[in-house]
């Protein structure tokens, strides 16, 4: 199975994310991945939200009603926000702890 970062690179190059590739990414996100994979996933989410990468499952819905287009826009914004939150969490979790800077109770 390809690594998340490899799938993302292929999707960014082609501008397209297949259902199979999307399922592979989801599967790996549920099991085993590293910080580079997480970074790649965030980049992919931004590319999807920005319209640079099209998803196969969404590509087939070419004729959306205005209400569906608004919902699609909201979903893209939600993906982008989730990607930003995931990125911030990844950065925070990868930072080393400095106990001198942390307040303590009773000290």
- Given a cut of 80, whether residue 28 has pLDDT beyond it is yes
Rounded to two decimals, what is the model's pTM? 0.54
Quote the tokens at residue 87: 């990125």
Q: 24: helix, coil or strand?
A: helix
Between 64 and 36, the higher pLDDT residue: 36
* Separation CA 20–CA 13 (nearest Å): 17
What are the tens digits of pLDDT across the range 17-27?
Answer: 999 998 888 88
CB atoms within 10 A of CB 7: 23
Mean pLDDT in residue range 53-78: 68
- What is the pLDDT, as a whole number, of residue 99? 55
How large is the average pLDDT for residues 74-83? 82
Interatomic CA distance for residues 76 and 1, integer angstroms: 28
Q: What is the mean pLDDT of residues 23-35?
A: 84
Rounded Cα–Cα distance for residues 40 and 4 (Å):
7
Distance in angstroms (rounded) separating the CA atoms of residues 55 and 34: 24
């Amino acid at each position: 199975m390809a690594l998340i970062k490899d799938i993302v690179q292929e999707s960014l190059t082609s501008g397209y994310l297949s259902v199979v590739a999307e399922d592979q990414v989801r599967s790996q996100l549920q099991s085993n991945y590293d910080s580079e994979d997480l970074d790649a996933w965030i980049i992919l989410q931004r590319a999807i939200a920005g319209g640079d990468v099209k998803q196969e499952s969404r590509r087939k819905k070419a004729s959306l009603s205005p209400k569906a287009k608004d919902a699609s826009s909201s979903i893209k914004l939600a993906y982008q926000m989730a990607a930003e939150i995931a990125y911030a969490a990844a950065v925070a979790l990868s930072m080393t702890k400095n106990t001198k800077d942390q307040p303590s109770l009773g000290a």
